[in-house]
Amino acid sequence: MTNEDGIGRPAMLRERLGSVGGHMTRRRAAVYRFLRGAWPHPTAEEIYLGVKEELPRISLATVYKNLEALVNCGLAVKVPAGDGAARYDLRTDHHYHSRCLQCGTMIDLEPAAEEILRNMVKAPSGFEVSHYRVEVLGCCEECGKR
């Protein structure tokens, strides 16, 4: 699935932000545009460095604030990663990720194995499992070529 589902269109973004009391600023639009770019699951720092090229006076704190606003109105999610870095994703439906231990690149995985996991992982007695958080770790294709 790509982000070309309509939510990505600027008019729609303005509408979604408007409905939660947020507003569309040049900075927010730049942060959103970076998230839509080719870089999958960038960290806040990576977004900051990318957006800075366009808006040199933007601060990391402002980037964080705008990311928070996008998350609050459901346009993006914060991706929990094992390395503790805050990464962001425009894909908000339930899915897993693979993460390269060398370059940090994260790629989407479909949660196809969830049913198998449910049967394999034994939860403590009385513990009700609501969902799993799976991260597949290794070395990406690009890093493997080096």
Q: With CB under 5 A as the contact rule, which of the stretches 5-13, 27-35, 52-60, 133-141 interacts with Zn ion?
A: 133-141
3-state secondary structure the chain: CCCCCCCCCHHHHHHHHHHCCCCCCHHHHHHHHHHHCCCCCCEHHHHHHHHHCCCCCCCHHHHHHHHHHHHHCCCCEEECCCCCCCEEECCCCCCEEEEECCCCCEEEECHHHHHHHHHHCCCCCCCCCCCCCCEEEECCHHHHHC
Closer residue to Zn ion, CB minimum distance, 2 or 119: 2
Smallest distance, Zn ion to C-beta of residue 61, A: 25
Closest contact distance (angstroms) between CB of 83 and Zn ion is 13
Nearer to Zn ion, 46 or 55 (CB): 46
Residue 36 interacts with Zn ion (CB under 5 A): yes or no: no
User: CB-wise, 54 or 110, nearer to Zn ion?
Assistant: 110
For residue 30, which of 80, 5, 67 has the smallest C-alpha distance? 67
Interface of this chain with Zn ion, residues 85 to 114, rule: CB under 5 A: 89, 91, 100, 102-103, 105, 108
Q: Does 143 engage in binding with Zn ion (CB under 5 A)?
A: yes
Whichever of 14 and 33 has its CB closer to Zn ion, that residue is 33
Query: Which parts of this chain interact with Zn ion (CB under 5 A)?
Result: 89, 91, 100, 102-103, 105, 108, 140, 143
